Copies of this chain bind each other. A is one copy, B any other.
Amino acid sequence: MSLLVVGTLAYDTIETPAGKADDVLGGAATYFSVAASYFGSVRLVGVIGNDFLAEDRALLEERGIDLGGLTIGDGPSFRWSGSYLDDLNVAETKATHLNVLDGYMPTVPDKFRDSNVVFLANSPPALQSHVLDQVSDNAFAVMDTMNLWIETARDDLLALLQRVNMLFCNDLEALAISGEDSLIAAGRKLLEMGPDTVLLKKGEHGAFLFHREFFYAIPAYPIERVVDPTGAGDSFAGGVVGYLASVGEITESQMRRAMLYGSVIASFNVEDFSLGRLRSLAREEIDARYNEMLRFTAHP
């Protein structure tokens, strides 16, 4: 199935206990599309600035990502600066410069409108809805979000939830959207708010999958030393959705496999800054960790 992602490409400045990286390639759509590219082709829609490096564009093209929906804005690329010095699980935003992202409304090129699976990376829900308006009603729609929109665009977000098949969110977002105070109650409540499937990301504690018909829980792939958690959620989603888009039918078994692949891809992502580790994985490395995940969670 063809997979479309719409979201940000960015230059990030990041500080973690392992070090600092200045103005490195980032953005939700970047992490998602590179992660998903290990399972099949990816179509990308987003905006970059006129300072976007040729080598970063080449990195995406080498991963087979179709950049036919990339707009080059008049000005510098979106920039985000954050720190994980206090807590590796929570990014503290130091600065956000929207730059070319300011006022951007994505146009899905005609040749991308038949995409079977659409991932709406974190963006204002009105923008995400605008993307859904441009693709087939039959597309399998997946969305991510963030606390900012839960607080400032709640009505738009609730309307969008009714239109998507699958929601990715972290623990705090799940509690904030649902108004519940336990993750389990939140996951079940979110299923009543629209999506058939809710993927609750818990960082180093793994992930839950809530579906109308089943519940699935996995640990994170055990990493001794996290270098940079930036993009962990987006690369997890890229692994999950990329794998699902590569199979003929989205069944319970395939969703369970997808969760494990997502966890594996995210585990590589956090082992280096930016796309350092994620940009050049061998299929054997992915399969080896997938099989380790099976052993780590094997039944007695």
Contacts and interface: CB of A to CB of B under 8 A. Distances in A.
B222 A184 contact: yes
A141 to B, nearest CB: 23
A218 B218 CA distance: 7
B224 A184 contact: yes
B183 A204 contact: yes
Contact of A256 (B219, B222, B253, B298): B298
Contacts of A208: 219, 222
A219 B253 CA distance: 19
Nearest to A258: B300
Contacts of A300: 253-254, 256-257, 260
A37 to B, nearest CB: 22
Interface string A198-224: 000010111010000011111100111
A208 B206 CA distance: 12
Interface in A5-62: 17
Interface stretch (A73-81, A105-113, A289-297): A289-297
A155 interface: no
Contacts of A253: 300
A182 B298 contact: no
Contact of A182 (B202, B214, B226): B226
A181 to B, nearest CB: 7
Looking at chain A's contact residues, the main secondary structure is mixed
A225 B299 contact: no
A225 B185 CA distance: 8
Nearest to A257: B300
A297 B297 contact: yes
B224 A296 contact: no
Contacts of A223: 182, 184
Given A254-B300, A294-B299, A219 B222 contact: no
Contact of A224 (B188, B205, B254, B294): B188
Contacts of A214: 295
A185 B295 CA distance: 19
Nearest to A215: B296
Contacts of A256: 298-300
Interface of A: 17, 181-185, 188, 202, 204-206, 208, 214-219, 222-226, 253-254, 256-257, 260, 294-300
Given A206-B217, A215-B296, 7 more contacts: A182-B223, A182-B225, A182-B226, A184-B223, A215-B295, A217-B219, A219-B219
16 contacts: A182-B204, A182-B224, A184-B222, A184-B224, A188-B224, A202-B205, A205-B206, A215-B295, A216-B297, A216-B298, A217-B219, A219-B219, A260-B300, A294-B299, A297-B297, A299-B299
